[in-house]
Structure 1
Amino acid sequence: MSTLNPTDRNILLAVDNSENSQKAVSYVARLLGGIGGGFHITLLHLIIEPDTDYFPSEQERISWLKQHTTEVGALLEKYRSILEAHGIGSDQIRIHTPVRYCPSVSECILAEKDILEYGTIVVGRKGLTPKEEILLGSVSSKLVKLAKNCAVWVVN
């Protein structure tokens, strides 16, 4: 019988402000709430840094980052509350909001998974039609396709 790698007990819950992200948080809360310790959940929200020429001035870029970081912080605290309300201890929940350039959100999530050493990624499925998914692609589809050495849970 094989033993679990410590990273297998680390869950990276990649979220944004969508309804599907909230469903993913609620799913994880219901699934893992009340079972005790032995795992950690990190709420990950990537703050995608716009191109340098997006803002007219450096001051406006800094102002945007500050405001966006505050909004994201409030959202992640809301998600933390959902997890805690289902019996997941506050010591088991981490919040991670890196500011980074991301040409591909899925690749940035996978990079964070590797940096933070997580064995499971959880995302909400974007509500794309089949045509939109072919044209635009979806983060969840790309994660399933590109992920190595981890499990990917896609919550619908």
Structure 2
Amino acid sequence: MTIKEKQNEIVEEFAFLEDWEQKYEYIIDLGKELKPLPEDKKTEQNLIKGCQSQVWINAHYDDEKLFFEADSDGILPKGIVSLLVSIYSGHSTDEILNSDFDFISEIGLQEFLSPSRANGLMAMTKQIKFYAVAFQLKK
């Protein structure tokens, strides 16, 4: 599945949810499904700056694809980072760099979040792009 196909799937899933309470619960459930990040990966280097909660994103490059793992000490940020990991993990650096984050506005996520959480979301998306650039340069 391409990144765009995964994004479209998320947009469709959110369209079925009637209100923000259901969307909030859906995001929290995503976080509960996220495999915990090993403690040795919860480093300052993997910590996302600008998030209200502590959020870590780690990446590794294997077979010309970038794979992400993440965690958070907050239930909502954990769900949000889980959503991002599910979309972007397992794709080439080119595909990640050529993708957009328009699905976030399509599902209305930024409107739902407080300003500080919206800033955290943007910091997470920037980190994913940063990892793609960094691993592309290592090729």
User: Normalising by the residue count of structure 2, what TM-score does the alignment of the two structures yield?
Assistant: 0.28
Q: Which has the higher helix share?
A: 2
As a proportion of its length, which structure holds more strand? 1
Q: Bigger radius of gyration, 1 or 2?
A: 1
| Structure of greater relative contact order (alpha carbons < 8 Å, 6+ residues apart) | 1
